[in-house]
Amino acid sequence: MVMFNNFNFSKLKEGLTKTRDKIVNTITETISGKAVIDDKTLDEIEEILITSDIGYDTATNIIERTKISLKSDKDRSGLNILGTVKKELISIFDYMQIDGEEEKINKSKPYIILVVGINGVGKTTTIGKLAHNYKKAGLKVIIGSADTFRAAANEQLDIWAQRAGVEIMQKKQGTDPSSVAFDTIRKAIKEKYDIVLIDTAGRLHNKSYLMEELSKIKRVINKVLPNAPNETFLVLDGNTGQNALVQATEFSKVTDITGLIVTKLDGTAKGGVVFQISAKQKIPVKYIGIGEGIDDLQTFNPEQFVKAIFDI
């Protein structure tokens, strides 16, 4: 069951232009004019993949598997090679299960979504977009503003809540974030909200501090709802390439991440990092951000993502 009607292939394709230039256009140049692709050319393709943000291990793995699958295939045309590489890239996401998100939400209302990630990755923007998507899907949404650290955070989130047309719970700057989370959830239970989105501050000066803050939020949430949060989404900025991978690794150590959201894939050549993070972390990629607008969040679909990158 598709929860959101937020997919637009041409917009996705446009957003991934630089990534496509970096990965596919160079591969296409390498294979063009060659009737048969030999192993030397495959090694060149491997190098292109390595220098894109797909990462060394993932790239060598893909080419190895491509070589194996081509052994039983007489067709060594460029087109077939590209098709095989595409298939291998899609298979990186095989670990992701079709979610049945709607059923999950229906089973545990209010459904609590905690959004974490370092400063500037796009948490607040993504919460605004998610709120809009859930609202459009007919759900009653409230946002809890647990980024009480920055003065401007409340105002920014308030603007997004208004855009999305959803409720928001805010407290003074400096309030304990977990008390905002607590009150938001209590209100959500009392007033029968379906979805609670909790924004957090992205202070990562040190791991133990982050762990403490996140685990306190969880502890406090658990007092109201034992199974909450139902989801913890980690937001990563696609623009940061390798660094996004490091963040995914670090956050996974301190909290149970149930899904990734990779933002700012528009206008970056580093979109290949989505493959690398998935291959390494095996955490489902739930959404991708391809712009600053309220409609610029798409549910991640492996086939369409690869197709959009390779569709020249």
Ligand X SMILES: Nc1nc2c(ncn2[C@@H]2O[C@H](COP(=O)(O)OP(=O)(O)O)[C@@H](O)[C@H]2O)c(=O)[nH]1
Instruction: Supply the minimum distance, in Å, between the C-beta of residue 124 and Mg ion.
Output: 3
Instruction: Supply the minimum distance, in Å, between the C-beta of residue 37 and Mg ion.
Output: 47
Q: How many residues belong to the site for ligand X (CB under 6 A)?
A: 18
306, 89 contact by CB (below 8 A): yes
| Closest CB to ligand X among residues 55, 289 | 289
88, 310 contact by CB (below 8 A): no
84, 70 contact by CB (below 8 A): yes
| Closest CB to ligand X among residues 88, 296 | 296
- Kindly state whether residue 212 participates in binding ligand X, applying the rule CB under 6 A: no
Instruction: Supply the minimum distance, in Å, between the C-beta of residue 149 and ligand X.
Output: 10
Site for ligand X in 152-191 (CB under 6 A): none
Question: Which DSSP state fits 35?
Answer: S
Q: How many residues belong to the site for Mg ion (CB under 5 A)?
A: 2
- Kindly state whether residue 264 participates in binding ligand X, applying the rule CB under 6 A: yes
Task: Return the range that interacts with ligand X (CB under 6 A); candidates 117-125, 183-191, 220-228, 274-282.
Answer: 117-125
Cα–Cα distance for residue pair 211/205, rounded to 1 Å: 11
Find the binder of Mg ion among 30, 124, 148, 301 (CB under 5 A). Answer: 124
Is 80 exposed, middle or buried (CB count within 10 Å of its CB: 0-12, 13-18, 19+)? middle
3-state secondary structure of 286: strand
- Name which of 261, 270, 254, 4 is nearest 132 in CA terms: 4
Task: Return the range that interacts with ligand X (CB under 6 A); candidates 32-40, 67-75, 100-108, 112-120.
Answer: 112-120
3-state secondary structure of 135: helix
Cα–Cα distance for residue pair 29/24, rounded to 1 Å: 9
Task: Return the range that interacts with Mg ion (CB under 5 A); candidates 4-12, 25-33, 124-132, 293-301.
Answer: 124-132
Residues 6+ apart with CB under 8 A from 162: none
Interacting residue ranges for ligand X, rule: CB under 6 A: 117, 119-125, 202, 263-264, 266-267, 289-292, 296
Interacting residue ranges for Mg ion, rule: CB under 5 A: 123-124
